Structure 1
């Protein structure tokens, strides 16, 4: 603060010269007159915005004062003509519009815009006719420069000229509480519902609430949901799906993951994972398919109703129910399935080969009968007879090769890969349908603590050994 004046009269100016303060320490007998104070203000350069009423009060009271505001400047107003030029989509650009049938899609998918590091996201366009202010010295005061600071979030910076904002990393433009950020993880601070619409994001998604019925969440990366999932669709094309609570799918929920799925519980849903499905509770009336293992932990770790199939193994405490509820479990095997498909293809080829051989045999019989009746064949017919006889030999060799290859594939289908196990720690209930590879069986009675596996092309259900906790026996 600047200070000027006599020893008993002080005038203070702020650094921006928008305010002047007066201190008078003299007693009533020596108190300066109005003209003297004005002269001192003028000597200090204060010529504008002097508060005449305040000055008259000070002079009339003739009492010592300190730091009393005696003059104020007029600040330049913020221009309403300042505009932001957007180079990326922003919240105001997302508006649900009527479809052809005049209905508005309030689940409209939010679009995400990818930018490279250094990309210009928005710029300020200063006003053409700005209004200036004036300080207490009568000097013009320019309007405050428009600022983009309120928009700057994570991985965003303001350009050196102050008129643009730039991305500081590769990623997608996201919005949080009116601030722009760039990231490859999209966070939803709440539920996925009509406020967010459907979400599709090339990266990972974290949802701090629930996913409500009828909505869809898609990501290339991982999807983490801290709440639950209703009758919604969750799809990760390259990552995992993690749901802290569980799924109440109402027979309409779908979870699909390129890698694994982790969930608190699953009810009335369809779940497909390329790798494992891990559930910290129960699976009820659901369709589960895993390229790895299905592993139920916690209490109750039960499977009841629906279908649960896995490639590498299934582990649960209970499967089925005392009152028979249609429950199917099984182990699929890609190698076994491939061997079976190859076997079926060979079988089809063999059938075609045999049909062709039958027709060739009939042709030979006809030509021999013709030769018998005519006594001799024309050169053309003789050539044809030699050709079909050669074809008969070729087809016989082909049939033998196909039969041998089929036998090899059948043996492979019966012995392929390590033995995988369905592990039931407590109760396997009567009526549970079991499929392993190309074999099927039903649990004939209630059983406890068993391993179920395929051996010699038959399903075996055997008591587990104490302490046994492995997938292969």
Structure 2
């Protein structure tokens, strides 16, 4: 009934197939294979209205899909307007690309954009115009300025951030750990200025970017530019980092006039010098030494090195738990002028004049008085541990009780010895239990299985024997350590030892019930003995 001409027109031979009405023709087209073609309603209606005598009527036209590329005024976007085919061919990907080239699109194009647009041909109605992005330009991104990223907490940061308590309130004395660093620590890492990223239009025009401002990293005293990475500033000494313009310096010793509410607690990786005093309730913690030129009153000092207080350390006994308000603890030695109501713990404790009502623990020596001939006074309080105790006067005239514990660390040695004996006994028991297993394995008839079991048991026996030998060596070492400790432990009194003093050397005790003149007290023949000095 209908015929397609070469020019895409759909023809109806009205002489051969005279249609009864326009409606009939339209319905016939819609039911034919030319249903997707563009129906020429005007021509059909005119044919019946004007009683045309033309033998052939053009009832529809076939159109292929077509793409029009539209470029925005600023040339930053290209969109496609795709007219869906009407009875004609779909637009292929290759033909669509040709349209983009023809439009001059050279940058910002993504094939995915085009594929998404062409996909709409399968869902849109014939002749419908659908749109989609085909290419997008890019605006220029200006470069970033040099950024100096601080990798450590500086003194300035420290003083800005008081520590939060568990209840959410702020402790204005405690600013947390003092900003401090070790040699080689990265202080600042430089992020270089960037040149920026140029932009472009979809037609390929370049949009230049502005480069970021550049800064040079400045190495202050105690720092250097890293030899491994020129973008890093590193510390050359232990100390506190201080900000300077475009860089940092490191002070190896932190010096402060007073430690008080205004300064906050001090927590520093290096050494600390306080040129005046430490006020009540304040704390100083240092990985190195702590040196105080004034006094410490009810403060707490903790050092990885030595603690030196040129004047006195004074505390009091707290009313709630009877503990002492002043504490000095260090890995090295403590040197103070005098002490009262303090807890002192160190490798060695040296007190120039006297100590009263203090609790002291020394891993080695405790001396009260001048170095050549210590004649300082110890009265009240308790000595928890020491190997050597030298003083002028111990106790007081009233005969009030005072306890001195020497070689207390021997208790730790004996506890370790007991544990070692237990482990040795357990190992020997395991060795004994392997013998029946070895005998049982020897009775197996399967040679391969027999050899396998004997080999495993033998390996276990060897391991346990080596373990037993290790425990025996450890026991021998502990025994020697205890013997050396007890042999070297002694107390020297250069003036007077008062009554009421209870002296413990390891597990032996001597209680003085009278005053003793200058003497030496040590452990002999498993007893605490007193040797008097001869003039």
* TM category, shorter: 0.5 to 0.7
Query: Is the Cα contact below 8 Å between 2:393 and 2:494 reproduced in 1?
Result: yes
Distance 1:158 1:183 in 2: 17
The answer to whether 1:184 aligns with 2:256 is no
Distance 1:456 1:271 in 2: 32
Partner of 1:52: none
Alpha-carbon offset, residue 185 of structure 1: 2.3
Q: How many residues align?
A: 301
Alpha-carbon offset, residue 279 of structure 1: 0.6
Query: Is the Cα contact below 8 Å between 2:393 and 2:496 reproduced in 1?
Result: yes
* C-alpha distance 309-99 of structure 1, shift in aligned 2 (>3 A): closer
Alpha-carbon offset, residue 90 of structure 1: 4.8
Query: Is the Cα contact below 8 Å between 1:226 and 1:244 reproduced in 2?
Result: yes
Partner of 1:205: 272
Aligned-pair Cα RMSD in Å = 4.4
Alpha-carbon offset, residue 304 of structure 1: 0.3
Distance 2:528 2:163 in 1: 58
Out of 107, 112, 115, the position equivalent to 2:179 is 112
The answer to whether 1:432 aligns with 2:505 is no
The answer to whether 1:271 aligns with 2:344 is yes
Distance 2:518 2:164 in 1: 59
Distance 1:427 1:228 in 2: 29
* C-alpha distance 114-324 of structure 1, shift in aligned 2 (>3 A): same
Aligned to 1:218, the other structure's residue is in SS state strand
Aligned to 2:357, the other structure's residue is in SS state strand
Out of 480, 484, 487, the position equivalent to 1:418 is 487
Distance 1:97 1:419 in 2: 46
Partner of 2:355: 283
Partner of 1:258: 331
* C-alpha distance 427-331 of structure 1, shift in aligned 2 (>3 A): same
Partner of 1:249: 315
Query: Is the Cα contact below 8 Å between 2:186 and 2:232 reproduced in 1?
Result: no
Alignment of 1:121-270 (within 5 A): 154-155=221-222, 169-175=236-242, 181-188=249-256, 190-237=257-304, 239-250=305-316, 251-270=324-343
Distance 1:92 1:340 in 2: 48
Alignment of 1:21-60 (within 5 A): none
The answer for unaligned runs of 5 or more in structure 1 is 1-81, 126-146, 351-405, 467-473
Partner of 2:428: none
Deviations 1:438-460 (A, max 9, x none): 01121110111111111111111
Query: Is the Cα contact below 8 Å between 1:152 and 1:165 reproduced in 2?
Result: no
Deviations 1:106-146 (A, max 9, x none): 11225415374785489999xxxxxxxxxxxxxxxxxxxxx
The answer to whether 1:452 aligns with 2:525 is no
The answer for unaligned runs of 5 or more in structure 2 is 1-144, 194-214, 317-323, 426-474
* C-alpha distance 123-245 of structure 1, shift in aligned 2 (>3 A): farther
Partner of 1:327: 402
Deviations 1:55-81 (A, max 9, x none): xxxxxxxxxxxxxxxxxxxxxxxxxxx
Alpha-carbon offset, residue 339 of structure 1: 3.6
Q: TM-score, normalized by length of structure 2?
A: 0.48
Deviates more, 1:250-259 or 1:332-341: 332-341
* C-alpha distance 177-426 of structure 1, shift in aligned 2 (>3 A): farther
Q: TM-score, normalized by length of structure 1?
A: 0.53
Query: Is the Cα contact below 8 Å between 1:216 and 1:234 reproduced in 2?
Result: yes
Aligned to 1:447, the other structure's residue is in SS state coil
Query: Is the Cα contact below 8 Å between 2:387 and 2:488 reproduced in 1?
Result: no
Aligned to 2:276, the other structure's residue is in SS state coil
* C-alpha distance 337-95 of structure 1, shift in aligned 2 (>3 A): closer
Query: Is the Cα contact below 8 Å between 1:155 and 1:183 reproduced in 2?
Result: yes
The answer to whether 1:301 aligns with 2:376 is yes
Distance 1:463 1:341 in 2: 35
Larger Rg: 2
